[in-house]
Amino acid sequence: MNQDIASLRKSYERAELNESASEADPLRQFARWFDEARKSGVPEANAMTLATVGSNLRPSTRVVLIKDFDERGIVWYTNRQSRKGRELAGNPWAALQFHWVELERVVRIEGRVREVDDAESDAYFASRPLDHRIGAWASPQSQPIPGRAWLVAEAAKYAARFMLDPPRPPHWGGYRLEPDCWEFWQGRKSRLHDRLRYRLESGQWIRERLSP
């Protein structure tokens, strides 16, 4: 055992999470925590880990950026021919996780994923910086490529082709996870952490405390 790693530990003492002070609706609780993370200056508070499972039953994770959320779910955008896109096409169930280290907080979200409609994907794509829009055409995400020089050349090719107005690639668009389970984790002293889970049952959110 690597003792230097095994001895790493931290006491969590910044805040608490209890039933009386939390929202009855998990979306409102998430909005509150997300707003606090943004205002506190947490680096990339919008970064979340997306977990999917392939047809071979092997899970995979990657970090994506939340781009919208409302009562319909959590939205992000990506290349639909990427590994995550292919896995979601075969198994639309996924999980998300936010880890705001500085606030000693974690939010976990599970549910079914559906593609965002074309109009919504078009509107978001048009709002992206030009080089990001060119990159969406240039990168065959998750596929082997000869090297970085090849990728830069592809970006130059598409920049020359589309100039200042690249359209949204047909293989690129949004996904929306429709939550049926949320968990809010607040680190506490002595590893007696606060965990509140919200699960959807007959159209109603049931809030319950989980043992740490």
Residues classed as catalytic: 191
Q: How many helices (H) and strands (E) does the chain have?
A: 6, 9
Q: Report DSSP state, residue 45.
A: T
Strand partners, 114: 176
Strand partners, 184: 107, 196
What is the separation of C-alpha 200 from the centre of its chain, rounded to a whole number of angstroms? Answer: 20
What 3-state DSSP class applies to 78?
strand
Give the distance between the most distant pair of CA atoms in the chain.
59
| Encoded tokens for 164 | 């200042």
